[in-house]
Amino acid sequence: AEAEAVPQGQKQSWGQFIKQLASLSGDLYSMTAPPFILSPVSLTEYPSYWCERPELFAAIADGKTPEDRALRVLKWFISTLKGQYTSRNEKMGSEKKPLNPVLGELFFGTWPDYNSRGQTNLYVEQVSHHPPITGYYIENPTKGVALQGHCAQKTSFSAGSIIGKITLRWLDRLTFSNTRHLTVKQVGHAILGVKLPDGTVEDYLITLPSLRIDGIFYGAPYIELTNTSWIASSSGWVSNIEYKGKGWVSGKSHQFKALVTPPGSSSAAHTIEGLWHETSKDSRGVPFHDVRGPKEEVSVKDLGEQDDMETRNLWQHVAKGIRTGDFEAASREKTKIENEQRQRRKDETAAGTPWQLKYFTHIGEDPKYTKLVKLCKDIPSQEDAYIFQKPTA
């Protein structure tokens, strides 16, 4: 029964891939994986998941009190999770391995103004290749709401030592337990800024949940969220979100419970519970979020109008190969991009002129994080950040 979702002819390379995962000998993104698990989409496109319900993002600004706004931020945040963590399964049948962005890769998009919610703009830049780090900025200037963040991942494999020693020949014969999974810790954070009518800005620190990728051995990976994440506001309101999955015997996938606490208090004023990919309610049974309806994908310029470094332009031939099943072409085109990148880095080193980021500046310590993290528990007291700046030219 093992690896039943893996197409005939790719079982051996799936086995090799799992072996690599188990020993985690390399960088996950650059590991060779069999064609069936490849996505034609680069990781630089993933930040668009933050705004596929732009009306919820815009509505944060309409909150009349800090409490009201804290609940609106939570509602928007929870409503992004379905897109962030289940959309590849819905679109492509399982979780997939994204294209590994090159340094300086860009992704821009917009969500149109509609019902006076204002236009939302997205800017993404791959700010590091090794390790992969993505910087993003999403703004709705009309409403005065902006999200500034960066993300990276630390992965580890649950069954390290035993699995790591299995030889490929044996792999076909073993029946794997579905508890053997990949744990992905998200590194990075986001700061949401909301401009208030009096001109001041209310900030929200958003931390990210950990992921558990199950179903790998069956060749049908999917994500479950684990542990907790935080949303801490400069107003003093704090949301702590706890994530839970199916469990051994009972329970449902994708459960969460959020406690929303007022400034200076340790007891929650609101408790929200439900399934993040469907609906939730507060403790009085009042509906909170509902993501069963459609979402809005980001609009992107036509390929012809895109710069060489814009992701869909850069990866177009690789993506086409993957989409049409011409994996030889995909791999040839991917090698071309990788070789070109290596050459660029060599030339830069030789000339003593390192690559310059276009939209983001690295800071060693994010002062907003340092301030707001004091309202959270059990997370690092400092973090770096990549701050968005529109190029002047």
What residue ranges bind ligand CLR (CB under 6 A)? Answer: 28-29, 37, 46, 49, 84-85, 95-98, 151, 153, 184, 186, 213, 216, 221
Considering beta carbons, is residue 66 or 224 the nearer one to ligand CLR? 224
The structure tokens listed for 92 are 């492509």
Whole-angstrom distance, CA of residue 349 vs CA of residue 347: 5
- Which residue lies nearer to ligand CLR by CB, 189 or 270? 189
Q: How far apart are CA 171 and CA 11, in angstroms?
A: 10
Residue 386, class by beta-carbon neighbours within 10 Å (0-12 exposed, 13-18 middle, 19+ buried)?
A: buried
Minimum CB separation of residue 229 from ligand CLR in Å reads: 12
Minimum CB separation from ligand CLR for residue 182, in Å?
Answer: 6
Instruction: Tell me the closest approach of the beta carbon of residue 323 to ligand CLR, in angstroms.
Output: 18
Which CB atom, from 58 or from 151, has the smaller least distance to ligand CLR? 151
Alpha-carbon distances of 189 from 57, 106, 133, rounded to whole Å: 17, 20, 12
How far apart, in whole angstroms, are the C-alpha atoms of residue 309 and residue 84?
24
Q: How far is the CB of 84 from ligand CLR (least distance, A)?
A: 4
Please identify, using beta-carbon distances, which residue of 259 and 322 lies nearer to ligand CLR. 322
Nearer to ligand CLR, 85 or 359 (CB): 85
Q: How far is the CB of 149 from ligand CLR (least distance, A)?
A: 9
Q: Which is nearer to ligand CLR, 217 or 237 (CB)?
A: 217
Q: Output the smallest distance, CB 99 to ligand CLR, in A.
A: 10
CB of 216 to ligand CLR, least distance (A): 5
Q: How far apart are CA 77 and CA 204, in angstroms?
A: 11
Query: Please, which residue, 96 or 117, has the CB nearer to ligand CLR?
Result: 96
Q: Based on CB atoms, which residue is closest to ligand CLR, 80 or 280?
A: 80
Q: How far is the CB of 265 from ligand CLR (least distance, A)?
A: 30
**Pick 19 or 97: Cβ nearer ligand CLR:** 97
SS (H, E, C) the chain: CCCCCCCCCCHHHHHHHHHHHHHCCCCHHHCCCCHHHEEEEEHHHHHHHHHCCHHHHHHHHHCCCHHHHHHHHHHHHHHHHHHHHHHHHHHHCCCCEEECCCCCCEEEEEECCCCCCCCEEEEEEEEECCCCEEEEEEEECCCCEEEEEEEEEEEEECCHHHHHHCCHHHHCCCCCCCCCCEEEEEECCEEEEEECCCCCEEEEEECCCEEEEECCCCCCCEEEEECEEEEEECCCCEEEEEEECCCCCCCCCCEEEEEEECCCCCCCCEEEEEECCCEEEECCCCEEEECCCCCCCCECCCHHHCCCCEHHHHCHHHHHHHHHCCHHHHHHHHHHHHHHHHHHHHHHHHHCCCCCCCCEEEECCCHHHHHHHHHCCCCCCCCCEEEECCCCC
Q: How far is the CB of 305 from ligand CLR (least distance, A)?
A: 26
Q: 190: closest CA among 355, 73, 291?
A: 73
Comparison of 88 and 270: residue with beta carbon closer to ligand CLR:
88
Smallest distance, Å, CB 220 to ligand CLR? Answer: 10
